[in-house]
Structure formats: structure tokens, C-alpha cells
Amino acid sequence: MDVDVSQSTRFYEWVAWFHANQKRVFVGAAAVIVVAVVAIVFVYYQSRKEVSASEALSEVRVPLNPGAPLPPGTASNYLLIAKEHAGTKAAARALLLAAGAYYAEGNYPEATNLFQRLAKEYPDSPWQAQAALGIASALETMKKIPEAVAQYDKVRRLYASDPVVDDAKLGLARMYEAQGNFTNAFQLYSDLVQANRFSGLGSEAGMKMEELLQKHPELAKVSAPTTPATTMITSNMPLRTGTNRPAFTFSNLIQRSASNQPARTATNRLGTNQSLLIQPKAPAPNP
């Protein structure tokens, strides 16, 4: 009986409180509803914005053949998308591809500027590692050796778990070799051979290691893989040619992209299996 009386008392107290504060209750409930509606609208708007940006990116056509030259104005088209859809993931990717287009044209300073812009404007972008590698490759091609060494080493340290790390190590080894730091170069080539026994990159590192060993036999004392590099090419992967040239590829970028849109041939739509391989001109040999 005492319990029933207590519950009744609390109920009447609540009713009295509600009558006294019903205006605040209604205002609070309305505010919650408004916030929920705004959140839903914002999420929907952002979703549509991302889809629209992705569709715009897909309309930029590039050759199916990775070695074919890009159509004139490709970089400008990417930059326009980056401007019109600023803040989206597709805009960040458009910046990366614009930088890659300039890189392919040999405009390395402008490519570097765009790679740096991506790093600054989209710090959470999944393509930060690609942009960092692009900067290092551009510096190497422009023969800014000390800067390239620092940048390749930065990529190696900051993106140790990213697929670009092996390309960064290979580039760093080339830069060490250019500086005359043959021991460190040989060690990096050796490490890459061990970690990439059945890949084109591993074969390239093996050839570079053998070339370095022929020029500097004393490096035989440095730790080397137990399996000779010349016997490594046992896979179906093509051997990477032009081993003195930095290679910059967007294949990892595209493979990691995600979209609900169906893949379209010869486009840049997120989710496509197309890879854009950019091979810059070989630096002129030192006199």
C-alpha cells in the first residue's frame, strides 16, 4: 500500500512539473527534431555531393594504354573538378590526378605544387602516401638529390604500411647510389630483393644490386640475399624497364578506391580497374 501511494505521489509531482514547464519541454523537443532533420539533410547533401563529384571525375577520359600520352587539357579538367567539388574525396583524388598529368607532361614543378597542395588541403586523404611519393619522384627527376633523399626517407618512415613504401625504398637506394653511398644503396636493394622475390620491383632491385656489385666488388661483404638476384624472375609479372628512371603509378590508388557506381572503361570513376601509369622522361646522364 505504501508503494502505491509513493508511486501515485511521484506521478502527480511529474504531472505538476510538466504543466509548469510544458513550454520548455515543447521547445526542447522541437529543437531535437530540428537538429535531427538538419543532420539527415546534411548527410544526404554530403552523399549527393560525393556522388556528383565522382561522376564528374568519371567524365575525364584517359587512354586505356598506360604508355599513351594524355589528351591535352587533362590536368586542367582535373583541376576544375577539384575546384568545383572542393572538400570531397573525389576533389582530393582530382588534385592527385592533375599532379600526375603534369608529371607525365614533364612539368615537375607544377606537379610538386599540386602534390603539396593535396597534402595541405586534405590531410586525412587516403592518397597522402601517393602524393608524398610523387613529390620524391619529381625531386629525383629534377636531380635535386639531397631533397629527394629526404623525401623518399620521409615516405619510408611515415607510410611504412602503405604499398608505396617499396617504391620509396627503391628510389632512396637510387639516390644513395647517386650520392656515392654505395653500402646503404646495396643494403636497400638487398632488402627489396628479399621482400619482393616474385615481383617486377624485386627483379629491378636485383638487377640494380648486381650492377652495383660488379662496379664495387667490396660490397659482397654486405649482407645479401641467399637467393641470387638473377634467379628471381620466376613469376608472370613483367620486368620493370628503365631502371634508372623513377616510375610513378596510380594503380594502388585506383585499386583502393571505393564506389557504389559501376566501373566504366577508360574513365576515372572510383572503383574502376584501370590503372594510370606515368613514366617520366629519363634524366639526362651526368657528364
Please indicate, yes or no, if residue 132 is contained in any of the structural domains: yes
Domain membership of residue 53 (yes or no) is no
More reliable by pLDDT, 26 or 97: 97
Is residue 56 domain-resident?
no
Q: At what angle do helices 89-105 and 128-141 cross, to 10 degrees?
A: 10
Q: What are 190-231's pLDDT values in tens digits? A: 999 998 888 888 899 899 989 999 999 888 887 655 444 443
Most confident among 7-21, 95-109, 214-228, 243-257 (mean pLDDT)? 95-109
Please state the domain count of the chain.
Answer: 1
CATH number of the domain within which 226 lies: 1.25.40.10
Helices 108-121 and 128-141, axial angle in degrees (round to 10): 160
For residues 229 and 224, what is the distance between their CA atoms, to the nearest angstrom?
10
**46 is a domain residue:** no
Give the residue-averaged pLDDT of 126-131: 91
Instruction: Indicate the pLDDT class of residue 144, thresholds 50, 70 and 90.
Output: very high
Low-confidence winner among 104-108, 110-114, 253-257 (lowest mean pLDDT):
253-257
pLDDT given at position 32: 65
Which residue range forms the structural domain that includes residue 220?
Answer: 126-257
The predicted model scores a pTM of 0.67
Three-state secondary structure call for residue 167: helix
Establish if 228 belongs to a structural domain.
yes
Residue pair 271/64 in contact by the 8 Å Cβ criterion:
no
